[in-house]
Amino acid sequence: MDSISNIIPNLTAPKKVVITMHQKPDGDAMGSALGLFHFLVQLGHQVNVISPTNWASFLNWMPGCNTVIDYEKEQSKSDGIIANAEWIFCLDFNTMSRTKKMEDSLLNANAEKILIDHHQQPQVEVFKYGVSDTTKSSTAEMVYDFIIQSGFSEKINNEVSQCLYAGVMTDTGSFRFPSTSAGVHTMIADLLRKGLKHSVIHEELYDNFSENRLRFIGNTLLNRLQIFYEYNTALISITQQDLIKYDIKTGDTEGLVNYPLSIEGIKLAAIIIDRGEERKCSFRSKGSFDVNTFARKYFDGGGHYNAAGGQSKEPLEAVVSKFIKALSENKNELSTYQF
Ligand code: 5GP
Ligand code: MN
């Protein structure tokens, strides 16, 4: 993979561009994709954003979100756009398998594939150009860096700003995670000076849920949370019946995995959700427990050092058992944690 700086001289020659991101895009995946979209459109490119799957409705306020194509809903149209593209930007994922059913179409496309991502161990061989930096807070921060590097900082309009802010803010846990560098604050200061209204974005993202979701969280914390003090670990497991009972939609469970980390002494928090077609896992840790390696080893996943995910086709009870067994195999690291 060559440096993304190689494409900068060609930015002013209009191209057919596709931007995509990981399945079930979160704030950073959608925010970075749409931020880049609004930038490239101003340079005259013909740009389509294609998401591998649907996304949480709390992202719908983002400018341009209504133009994003859901690959699962419009597969043949998407395949045509992907086949004709000259550039395909792949944002906020490290391996093509994170695009689920879109993977083959992306791999077979003739376009130059360009990676912008901050996850560990990227599949560099499938990208012609790119930038991978695991020290970055978010892909949105990296899109901002790319725009600055390109020399077109005047193209950072309100639409670009709103999308990039949403990406950085959500991936840094509202600027609290260790990845929130001085550079992140400098970037945000720049967006604010350009006129960004940040508090509106917090409201759009966090104050727009249903009553059902809050009651679902109440039930989950009361009845679906297990604490393993001997491993400094908390586990939430959610059945399909719970999802149906509370009418839980994509995105409604986001952030839930973080709640148990507020308990004194908890170093590792996990959530396992029975989504029907698969069991989806999320892992969050504090300090020195590496959930990227943990997710890779036991749950066919990956991510970052302190935030990772995975999945399993086994039944929920089997995945829970596997997790508990994995805890015992990691007993030394988990039980001797220094707070
Ligand atoms: P989340 O738990 O919020 O789904 O994801 C946490 C982090 O791990 C995100 O950066 C996400 O992209 C990554 N991640 C989540 N699930 C998977 C997975 O199945 N495979 C890989 N490689 N990364 C994942
Ligand atoms: Mn991200």
**Which CATH number applies to 212-334: 3.40.47.10, 1.10.10.1800, 3.10.310.30, 3.50.50.60?**
3.10.310.30
CB atoms within 10 A of CB 211: 8
92 CA distance to ligand 1 middle (Å): 10
pLDDT at 215: 98
Alpha-carbon distance of 47 to 81, in angstroms, equals 10
Least Cα distance to 276 among 319, 315, 229, 249 occurs for 315
**Whether the CB of 251 sits within 6 Å of ligand 1:** no
CB 179 near ligand 1, within 6 Å: no
Ligand 1 neighbourhood includes 282 CB (under 6 angstroms): yes
Which atom of ligand 1 is found nearest the CA of 95?
22
**From the CB of 20, is ligand 1 less than 6 Å away?**
no
The full DSSP string for 214-272 is: HHHHHHHHHHSEEEEGGGTEEEEEE-HHHHHHTT--TTTTTTGGGGGGGSTT--EEEEE
pLDDT, position 337: 63
Instruction: Judge contact between 246 and 224, C-beta under 8 A.
Output: no
Amino acid at 311: Q
Residue 177, both tokens = 């995670």
- What is the Cα gyration radius of the chain? 20
DSSP label at residue 281 = E
301 Cα–ligand 1 center, Å: 7
Question: 3-class SS at 106?
Answer: helix
Digit-by-digit pLDDT tens for the chain (339 residues) are: 999 999 999 999 999 999 999 999 999 999 999 999 999 999 999 999 999 999 999 999 999 999 999 999 999 999 999 999 999 999 999 999 999 999 999 999 999 999 999 999 999 999 999 999 999 999 999 999 999 999 999 999 999 999 999 999 999 999 999 999 999 999 999 999 999 999 999 999 999 999 999 999 999 999 999 999 999 999 999 999 999 999 999 889 999 999 999 999 999 999 999 999 999 999 999 989 999 999 999 999 999 999 999 999 999 999 999 999 999 999 999 997 655
Question: What are the Cα distances from residue 6, in Å, to 129, 164, 210?
Answer: 7, 23, 46
CA distances from 29 to 49, 59, 72, 141, 260 (A): 11, 10, 17, 11, 25
User: What is the chain's length?
Assistant: 339
Please count the helices (runs of H) and the strands (runs of E) in the chain.
12, 13
Per-domain boundaries in the chain: 2-206, 212-334
**Ligand 1 neighbour 27 (Cβ under 6 A):** no
Please tell me the residue having the least CA distance from ligand 1 atom 4.
309
Q: What is the largest CA-CA distance in the chain?
A: 60
By the 10 Å C-beta count (0-12 exposed, 13-18 middle, 19+ buried), 296 is classed as middle
In CATH, the number for domain 2-206 is 3.90.1640.10
20, 216, 269 from 100: Cα distances, Å = 12, 28, 26
For a mutational test of ligand 1's pocket, the pick from 92, 98, 117, 290, i.e. the residue with the most ligand atoms closer than 8 A to its C-beta, is 98
Pairwise CA distance, residues 101 & 22, whole Å: 11
For residue 25 and ligand 1, the question of a CB distance below 6 A is answered with no
- CA of 213 from ligand 1 middle (Å) equals 22
Closest ligand to 308 CA?
1
- Nearest bound ligand to CA 139? 2
Nearest CA to ligand 1 atom 13: 303
CA of 199 to the centre of ligand 1 (A): 27
pLDDT at 138: 98
